[in-house]
Amino acid sequence: MKFFIDTADIGEIRQANQLKILDGITTNPTLIAKTGRPFMEVVEEILAEVPDKPVSLEVASTDFEGMVKEAEILAKLGDNVVIKVPMTIDGLKTVKYLEERGIKTNMTLIFSPTQALLAMKAGATYISPFVGRLDDISQNGMELISQIRTIVDNYGFTSEIIVASIRHPMHVLEAALIGADIATIPYKVIAQLSKHPLTDIGLERFLKDWQSVPEKPF
């Protein structure tokens, strides 16, 4: 299972990258806006930090011509740039167009299995179903991941499933149990994955008992 980080914050990206478990980055306009910094400055820093890992950058137009124009600008920024395209009819045309020209795509804002099916038919490199936002409106986000997994396995689609809009460690666990290819995880949740109260209690006890061991080498 690949771990992407869902952020445009260079500090968080560096911290996650130091763990050596990072396989890619996803951003979106909201995450870029949160940094409060100029777009190109943020993107150049991210691409310099992870020149060999996929970095999803999202287009801001909604029509085919506009999305293609923006995608071509973004794709020139690095070989590892993946163009994030919203799930719309024009978005589907854009994905097909870009994939045919060797530009990788990530179809985003997917909330139903039929949207996922269309994105895979269009040839998206990645598809991003949003689990947290479905949970927020009392629909089962992880059920969508199971359904998409079944569709991929039924037909052998090559698109990789990125579980997006992850809110907590259980989303990551369930994604792993279902067999999603990738989880794109906020830094806070990556840190939470390492935590267990029994680990803290056990470590405290070991450190205390270590004090009474005689003739220690260190």
Residue 108, number of CB atoms within 10 A of its CB: 25
Choose which of 130, 141, 159, 175 interacts with ligand E4P (CB under 6 A). Answer: 130
Interface segment toward ligand E4P; rule CB under 6 A; list 13-21, 89-97, 127-135, 188-196: 127-135
Options 69, 84, 93, 216, the catalytic residue: 84
136-to-107, 140, 193 alpha-carbon distances in Å: 21, 9, 21
DSSP 3-state helix, strand, coil percentages of the chain (rounded to 5)? 50, 15, 30
- Shortest separation between residue 182's beta carbon and ligand E4P, angstroms: 10
Name the token pair of 74.
């973004």
User: Contacts for 146-155 with beta carbons within 8 Å, 24 or more apart?
Assistant: 146/178, 147/113, 147/116, 148/113, 148/116, 149/178, 149/179, 149/180, 151/113, 151/116, 151/117, 151/120, 152/120, 155/120
Choose which of 13, 28, 42, 124 interacts with ligand E4P (CB under 6 A). Answer: 28
- Shortest separation between residue 143's beta carbon and ligand E4P, angstroms: 17
Choose which of 2, 14, 133, 168 interacts with ligand E4P (CB under 6 A). Answer: 133
Q: How many residues touch ligand E4P (CB under 6 A)?
A: 11
- Shortest separation between residue 209's beta carbon and ligand E4P, angstroms: 42
Active-site residue flag, 2: no
List the Cα angle 109/180/101 in 5-degree steps: 60
Choose which of 12, 26, 67, 111 interacts with ligand E4P (CB under 6 A). Answer: 26
Interface segment toward ligand E4P; rule CB under 6 A; list 38-46, 70-78, 129-137, 207-215: 129-137
Task: Determine the Cα–Cα distance for residues 148 and 151; give it in Å rounded to an integer.
Answer: 5
Contacts with ligand E4P by CB under 6 A lie at: 6, 26, 28, 108, 128, 130, 132-133, 164-165, 184
- Residues marked active site are found at 84
